[in-house]
Amino acid sequence: MKSKSKQAKPARRILIIYTGGTIGMAHGRKDKTLVPLDFRQIAEQLPELSRLHCHLRFYAFSEPIDSSNVHPVFWQRLAAVIEKNYPKYDGFVVLHGTDTMAYTASALSFMFENLSKPIILTGSQVPLGTIRTDARRNLITAVEIASAAGAIPEVCIYFNNFLYRGNRSEKFTSSKFDAFQSLNYPPLAEAGVHIVYLQEADKKKKAKKMKVHYGFNTAVALIKLFPGLAPEVLQTMLSDTRLRGVVFETFGSGNAPSDKKFLAVLKAASKRGLLLVNVSQCSGGRVEQGKYETSIHLKEIGMISGADMTTEATLVKLMFLLAQRKGHATVKKQMQKNLRGELTA
């Protein structure tokens, strides 16, 4: 009796979306300046992609955007492309500039509720067309992870051997290949000789229907505290009546000056209905309002603790929640709730 041969698993379908950034640049023939690469040439640039067990398709924005020009309107355009193609593909790889990649990853994580497929953002510090580039390895590995069976269904950032949760990541260097870090949450996977998945996928998500939420309210601001910030200057910053929320980067575990004039300005802003959020200037650790005397006053005036969220995730989350047309109390409560793995409860 002949044994039945094992059926090969069907190739996974991956959509690579090029939005712009260094990874899609190449040196022009004439003046050697960096110009956008025609992504129809990607197969020629990376023949290794054809050896992966997946079907690749490409989508390029008609006008590549420098990540410094990224805006919430762009996030919604990108989300719309993914939503439209969501039923057709098993995973998505987004090529994006590094400068604001953590903001985009955070935005997508909040927009896509009950995500059951991987959305992996990657890019490079050096253009794809150069000899000693990190673009080749980043892109190939990102596609390989996105096409893996049981891939982690999250919005992630893959960079220089590590897969990070997108809304836990931050860019911390502009001159090294390991441009990103995630100090408050461990990597999801590490790519060495083999790709080792350090966390298992949450299978419960697959039972729920995916939803996409659009809209961001940009009436927010970011203020970084520093020794010598005058209460009068702070008052001027907070006096714009269009403001709905302000994220404060405070010292250490959430500390701020205990000067009475300084606190009076914050208290008045809070009473006006301005949402004030406290995150640390430190990349690692968390805000603990009340641990020191210099933070207990912030808690008393109603400042929201950002716990261990990154500044990028905090700002985007605030814009996202304000756009949902929910009341002040609801937004305040949900800012402190873990929605997409962005904070440790």
- Rounded to 5°, angle at Cα 140 from 106 and 309: 20
The answer to whether residue 22 is catalytic is yes
Which of 176, 154, 150 minimizes the C-alpha distance to 108?
154
Any residues with CB less than 8 A from the CB of 51 and at least 6 apart, and which? none
Helices (H), the chain: 42-45, 72-85, 101-111, 135-146, 231-238, 260-271, 293-300, 311-323, 328-335
Given the residues 19, 22, 104, 141, the one annotated as active site? 22
Which of 159, 267, 152 minimizes the C-alpha distance to 203?
152
What sign results for the dihedral spanned by CA atoms 47, 48, 53, 54? Answer: negative
Task: Give the integer Cα–Cα distance in Å for 129 and 150.
Answer: 32
Asked if residues 82 and 17 have their Cβ atoms less than 8 Å apart, the reply is: yes
How does 233-259 read in b/e, with b if 16+ C-beta sit within 10 Å?
Answer: ebbeebeeeebbbbbbbbbbbbbbbee
Residue type, 158: Y
Task: Give the integer Cα–Cα distance in Å for 259 and 268.
Answer: 14
Q: Which active-site residues does the annotation give?
A: 22
